[in-house]
Amino acid sequence: MSKIFDFVMSVKSLAALIFSGLMVLYLIAGAIVPAVQKAPFDFTVPYIFVIEGIVLAIVIAILWGIFFGENGIEKWRYLPRLLVFCLSLAVLLVLSVLVFFGWHTNWAKLWWIVVACIMAGLVLISLVGEWYFRRTGRRYTQILRRYQGFERDSATR
C-alpha cells in the first residue's frame, strides 16, 4: 500500500508541475502570437483545454514514473528507456490531437503547439541529462582507474 501511495503522490506532483507549465506556456504564447499575427487573444482558457491538459499531464507523469521513476523500469539502460519515452510522447501527442480535434476553437493550433513544446522540453531535458551523466560517468571512471592504479603501485612497493 505504501508503494502505491508513493507512486500516486509522485505522479500527482509531477502532473501538477507539467499542467502548470502547460498553462503558463499557453498564456505566454498567447501574448506573443497575436503580436505577430496582429489578432487579439482572449486570455480565457477553454474548458476542453483544461481537461486535455489534465489528462496529458497525468499520462506524461505516469510514463515518466514508469521509465525514470524509482520503482520504474531499471533493467533497461537509460538510452533505450529515453527513446521509448520519446516515442510514447509522440504517440500521445498524435492521439491528443486526434481525440480533441472535434472540439475546435480559435486557438486549438496554439494549444497543440504548446503541448508539443512541453513534450519537446521533457525530451530535451532528458537528452541533456543523458549527455551530462555519460560525461561525468566517464570522468569519474577515469579518476577511479587512476586511483586503482595508484593503489596497485603503492601496494607493490
- How high is the pLDDT of residue 152? 63
Domain count, the chain: 1
Residue 104's pLDDT band (boundaries 50, 70, 90)? Answer: low
d(CA 5, CA 152): 48
Residue 14 lies in domain: 2-156
N- to C-terminal Cα separation, the chain = 57
The answer on pLDDT for 76 being more than 70 is yes
Residue 63: other Cβ atoms inside 10 A: 19
Q: Is the pTM of this model over 0.85?
A: no
Summary mean pLDDT of the chain: 78
